[in-house]
């Protein structure tokens, strides 16, 4: 007996929705992290030229990473919620 035959079509659909929601959340996280990295590198180069304090930008980068993580979790939850609406 194969694994797919052991589950109902409803459970199989839920599994596929969970997989898709994880994919959406991970994609949002990776793209957001890439954007934060690009802007952080540009900001640190600019501050290096100006001989300014880098601590505020470092705190802002950590906050942005936290925001990206939160946004990716929201995307995951929204996919799960809208998959239940029929």
Has this prediction a pTM greater than 0.85? no
The answer to whether the CB of 30 falls within 8 A of the CB of 69 is: no
How confident is the model over 29-75, as pLDDT tens digits?
999 999 999 999 988 888 777 777 878 888 999 999 999 999 999 99
Q: Tell me the domain boundaries of the chain.
A: 15-84
60, 17 contact by CB (below 8 A): no
Cβ-contact 26, 72 below 8 angstroms: yes
């Amino acid at each position: 007996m194969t694994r797919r035959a052991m589950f109902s079509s409803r459970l199989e659909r839920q599994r596929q929705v969970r997989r898709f929601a994880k994919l959406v959340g991970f994609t949002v996280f990776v793209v957001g992290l890439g954007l934060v990295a690009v802007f952080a590198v540009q900001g640190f180069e600019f501050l290096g030229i100006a001989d300014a304090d880098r601590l505020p930008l470092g705190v802002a980068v950590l906050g942005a990473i936290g925001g990206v993580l939160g946004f990716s979790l929201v995307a995951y939850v929204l996919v799960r919620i809208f998959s239940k609406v029929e």
